[in-house]
Amino acid sequence: MNPSGVTGRRGHGFTLTEVVFAVGLLALALVPLFSLLPLALQHTADGKNQTRAALLAQSLFSELKCSPDNNLFLLLPSRGAWTPSAPLNLLSPETETLCVAYDAEETALGSVADPAYQQGLAGAAFFATVSCRFDTISGLGKMTLAIEWPAAAPLGNRHRQIFITWMNPKP
């Protein structure tokens, strides 16, 4: 207590200098954290697309394996109906390839010719390129599936995942 008997206000709050200093420190701490947010969102989107690519690959492999003989095909939309794609012969010693575009819901849009594949296709989310070739040494058919996204981007700007499976030819 001071000699006049009046108590001071010191200790009952913060001074303006203390508040400004605390807010400055908080701002210095939050700026780096907020700068990481776009990177985290990009990694989340990449993970989502990788998962979707794996699910699409699994679905396509299942569909190809259900082909009744060694001519593998996918069902593609054509004039309002689902029609088989050009077949890929599992017993061919030459590599046969089929490229199909898929939308964001993983519904086939149709087969894609080389120029559209190279330049990108608006409205498509994924490209699936299926290749098959018969291996005479092992006696198995090798199916390679490349899933690429975003399909609207030119070839050099896409992410790509490759999946491989081997199939016994049907008798």
Task: Provide the residue count of the chain.
Answer: 171
Q: What is the pLDDT of residue 170?
A: 79
Which single residue is written with the structure tokens 């899933």? 147
* Residue 159 pLDDT: 92
Burial of 49 (0-12, 13-18, 19+ CB in 10 A): middle
Q: Which pLDDT score is estimated for 114?
A: 81
* Mean pLDDT confidence for 123-149: 90
User: Would you place residue 160 in the very low, low, confident or very high pLDDT band (cuts 50, 70, 90)?
Assistant: very high
For residue 86, give the nearest of 105, 67, 107 by alpha carbon: 67
**For the chain, give me the number of helices (H) and strands (E)?**
3, 9
For the four alpha carbons of 117, 120, 122 and 123, in that order, the dihedral sign comes to positive
User: Whole-number mean pLDDT of the chain?
Assistant: 86
pLDDT bin (cut points 50, 70, 90) of residue 72 is confident
DSSP 8-state symbol, 20: H
Question: Would you say residue 1 has pLDDT above 70?
Answer: no
Q: Which residue has the higher pLDDT, 104 or 10?
A: 104
DSSP string, 20-84: HHHHHHHHHHHHHHHHTHHHHHHHHHHHHHHHHHHHHHHHHHHHHHT-SSSEE--EEEETTEEEE
**CA atoms of 157 and 150, how far apart (whole Å):** 8
Write out pLDDT tens, residues 73-83. 888 877 667 77
